[in-house]
Amino acid sequence: MKSSAASLHFPPRYLDDNPASTRADRGADRRRLALFCITFLSVAVIGLVVDFTRPAQYRAETRLEIEPGSEVALAATPNGSVAEGVSGPHSAFVAQVQRLTSRPLIEAARTRLLATGMRLEGLREASVESLQEGLGVEAVPESKVAQVWSVGRDPETAALLLNALVTVYRERIASEFGAASAETLARARDEAERLQAAVAAKRSELEAFQLSHGIVSGERDDNAQLNHLRDSAKAMVDANTRLVAAEARLNALRASAASGQSTTRSRDNPTIAGMEQRLSQARENLRDMERNYTQDYLAIDPNAKALRARIAELERQLNAERSTSANSSIAEAQAEVADARATVQALQRQAAAERGSLQGFSLKLAQFKALQQSLTQLEAMQHAALERAVKLEASERARMPSVKVIEEAAIPHEVWRPRYWRDAGFVLLAALLIALFAVWLLGFIFKRERPQAIVVTPAWPVGGLPMPAPMAQIAAEGDQRLLAASPVLPRELAPDELARLIETSSNGVRIAVLALLAGLKPQELLALRWRDVDVAEGLLTAQGEEARAVPLSPRLAAELSAATPSPDGDRSAPVLQSADGAPLGGAALQTQLLCAAHDAGLDDAASITPDAVRHTYLAFLLRQGVRLADLFARVGSLSPESVPAYTALAPGGHRINEDEVRWTHPAGAGNAASAPAV
């Protein structure tokens, strides 16, 4: 009961028993109320009077569908002809829309309304500039519809002015189109006639030039002089080829004669062929005798002696015949060379004599072709001009712009501007704010020091009388609410406990503990797949709402490298699996971690949970003085209720930068003994 009484406190109470101070406060309150009422009423009355005395303005609207037609413009080309240019339909539509609020149309509509004799308020005194300021036009996107409106104090004047403006606009575009169309058609016809005369003159010039210079046609093959030039060139080529061949044959004969070789083939000279045949037969007979008889016998045999003498004579005759034939061949080759050279020289003299006339004819032929090309261009321009004139005559109705009134301007019966009641609300709101500001300013200027009050904090005494039961119940409930509002953090493991847990656990539990010490949340650990593991880059990819890349600690990288995704190498398989290959659940992970803690001989093994391992890593980082922004980027967000409790773990003073933080827990680096003391 004493403890309950000691924890029960009541809100403090101020005691001020000075009557003069109370009366002064009441007077100040009355002054503030009076200032508020006077300021509010003054501003509200002035604002409402100004609001409701403004003249009313009415807005009349009309909608028009404008078809600008195909506007045809004639423009002079650089060579003096007239070319057709068609302006774009959108630009023509915009130009017509802008004409609706032009000064000439407004002045003509005003004059027409005044001529009707109707009494329209302010129309006679209004200037064209004031009427133009009240008019507006807007093109409806993706259409050819224009919305025109008129704003004025008299609703009837605004509506009638719009209708008169539309009527004047339709009459103007009809008259302007008629004049412009007649002028355009006349210019097109004049251009066609001028081009026709130019074509006739150019054709006469071409015919006279052709007759005076003997040109058959513009084609080179149809003219005799050019054909003769082509034949002479071909003959020159043939003569040069013949001369080269004759000189080559002469040189070959001379080289053969100088080297002692025969320059005449046997089949070309029957005499040499007969001698060679007889000589061959005599030699064959002598060889037969040498095979049958000895040399001594042959030396005394008269037949053998006669045969040898015959062979010697035949050889002498054959050499003489060959020498005579070679001289004859060389003489023929020399004659052939001389004849070919004479032919080439004659053709060269003939070409030199005809070169001047052929050059003149080629120049005249080029002039003839230029005249033909000029005539072709003129004929094309004449055809285009005639076609344009025919199109203008045929498309006059299609080119005529049209204006269709979709909705005529009606006399408005409701005020368009100003909006009295809306503005009245703004006036009252402004009056309220100004009155509050005036009251605050009065209190700021005439601020009075308040006498010091006595603060009394009643509490139930610790000793003495016992606390009544209702008060004790209130105190107990208050203590329970305070305890419930403060979150309880999980258990923090000591460095030696972490070392024993990692060393004695299985591979799966060891990977789970090291991943939690790297910054993964328990639910992110259960959702981790092998495709999210990149040992080469040293990264884990946490999936989910807080997807991020978590660096691997050295020991975790080694454990993951030693593990295998699955027997079939499926990288979509979970990293933590049950015995049957299914993804490991949260309860199963808690059970395996509890078993590993029990096997390691840790105290209170039931308190060692995945959240406790994660809390150990968070406490390790916070005690270094890490910034919360860097912490959340590495480990993910924390619950709002636990953030105050975690910030209490951080040391006072300046926070360290991200590159100064030791992000790898000593247990993950393989050195748990160097972790900060808990």
Digit-coded pLDDT (tens) for 261-296:
655 665 667 887 788 888 888 888 888 888 888 888
pLDDT in tens, 415-434: 888 899 999 999 999 999 99
Nearest to 393 by CA among 96, 68, 72, 82: 72
Q: What is the band of 664 on the pLDDT scale with cuts at 50, 70, 90?
A: very high
Can you tell me the distance from the alpha carbon of 593 to that of 513, in angstroms, rounded to the nearest whole number? 9
pLDDT at 126: 79
pLDDT at 469: 53
**Which residue shows structure tokens 């979970």?**
574
pLDDT at 13: 40
Residue 412 has pLDDT above 50, yes or no: yes
Q: What is the band of 471 on the pLDDT scale with cuts at 50, 70, 90?
A: very low
- The SS3 of residue 289 is helix
**Which residue shows structure tokens 């509050």?**
436
Kindly report, as residue ranges, where domains of CATH 1.10.443.10 are found in the chain: 495-674
List the single range of 77-86, 256-265, 546-555 with lowest mean pLDDT: 77-86
Q: What is the band of 438 on the pLDDT scale with cuts at 50, 70, 90?
A: very high
Strands of 350-453 (E only): list them: 402-407
pLDDT at 453: 43
Cβ-based neighbour number of residue 52 at 10 Å? 13
Can you tell me the distance from the alpha carbon of 387 to that of 390, in angstroms, rounded to the nearest whole number? 5
Give the type of residue at 223.
Answer: N
pLDDT in tens, 636-653: 999 888 888 888 888 888
pLDDT: is 168 or 20 the higher one? 168
Residue 475 has pLDDT above 70, yes or no: no
Residue 483 has pLDDT above 60, yes or no: no
Structure tokens given for 443: 């209190």
Share of the chain above pLDDT 70, in %: 78
pLDDT in tens, 38-92: 999 999 999 999 999 999 988 999 998 888 765 544 433 434 444 444 445 677 7
pLDDT at 54: 92
> Could you tell me if 629 and 657 are in contact, meaning their C-beta atoms sit under 8 angstroms apart?
no
Nearest to 355 by CA among 240, 235, 229: 229
Cα–Cα distances in Å, from 490 out to 212, 619, 650? 118, 11, 17
> Could you tell me if 573 and 529 are in contact, meaning their C-beta atoms sit under 8 angstroms apart?
yes
Give CA 504 to chain center in angstroms: 58
pLDDT at 220: 53
Report which secondary-structure segment, H or E, holds 354.
Answer: helix 302-394
In terms of phi and psi (left: phi > 0; alpha: psi -120 to 50; beta: otherwise), the region of 581 is: left
Highest mean pLDDT among 206-210, 600-604, 648-652 belongs to 600-604
Provide long-range contacts, Cβ within 8 A and 24+ apart, for 573-582.
Answer: 573/529, 573/530, 574/526, 574/527, 574/528, 574/529, 574/530, 575/511, 575/525, 575/528, 575/529, 575/530, 575/533, 576/508, 576/511, 576/512, 576/525, 576/526, 576/528, 577/508
pLDDT at 456: 38
User: What are the helix (H) ranges across 522-669?
Assistant: 522-526, 554-562, 586-599, 610-622, 628-635, 643-647, 666-669
Instruction: List 74's β-bridge partners, or say none.
Output: 84
Q: What is the band of 627 on the pLDDT scale with cuts at 50, 70, 90?
A: very high
- How deeply is 308 buried, as exposed, middle or buried, from its count of CB atoms within 10 A (0-12, 13-18, 19+)? middle
- The SS3 of residue 573 is coil
pLDDT at 476: 52
Residue 202: how many CA atoms within 13 Å on its side-chain side?
Answer: 19
pLDDT at 500: 92
> Could you tell me if 331 and 249 are in contact, meaning their C-beta atoms sit under 8 angstroms apart?
no
pLDDT at 161: 86
Residue 258 has pLDDT above 50, yes or no: yes
List the single range of 250-264, 343-357, 490-504, 525-539 with lowest mean pLDDT: 250-264
Can you tell me the distance from the alpha carbon of 152 to that of 417, in angstroms, rounded to the nearest whole number? 10
Preceding peptide of 418 cis, ω within 30°: yes
pLDDT at 427: 94
> Could you tell me if 540 and 520 are in contact, meaning their C-beta atoms sit under 8 angstroms apart?
yes
pLDDT average, residue stretch 620-627: 92
Can you tell me the distance from the alpha carbon of 266 to that of 51, in angstroms, rounded to the nearest whole number? 138
Cα–Cα distances in Å, from 304 out to 283, 289, 301? 11, 8, 5
Can you tell me the distance from the alpha carbon of 471 to that of 84, in angstroms, rounded to the nearest whole number? 103
List the single range of 85-94, 206-215, 448-457 with lowest mean pLDDT: 448-457
Can you tell me the distance from the alpha carbon of 393 to that of 192, in angstroms, rounded to the nearest whole number? 14
Nearest to 84 by CA among 188, 161, 1: 188
Give CA 340 to chain center in angstroms: 75
Give the type of residue at 108.
Answer: A
CATH of 495-674, one of 2.60.40.180, 3.40.50.10540, 3.20.20.10, 1.10.443.10: 1.10.443.10
Residue 182 has pLDDT above 90, yes or no: no
Stated pTM of the model: 0.35
pLDDT at 37: 95
Cα–Cα distances in Å, from 444 out to 221, 433, 436, 490? 114, 16, 12, 53
pLDDT at 448: 56
pLDDT at 48: 94
List the single range of 466-470, 525-529, 621-625 with lowest mean pLDDT: 466-470
pLDDT at 594: 92
pLDDT: is 57 or 450 the higher one? 57
pLDDT at 261: 64
Q: What is the band of 618 on the pLDDT scale with cuts at 50, 70, 90?
A: very high
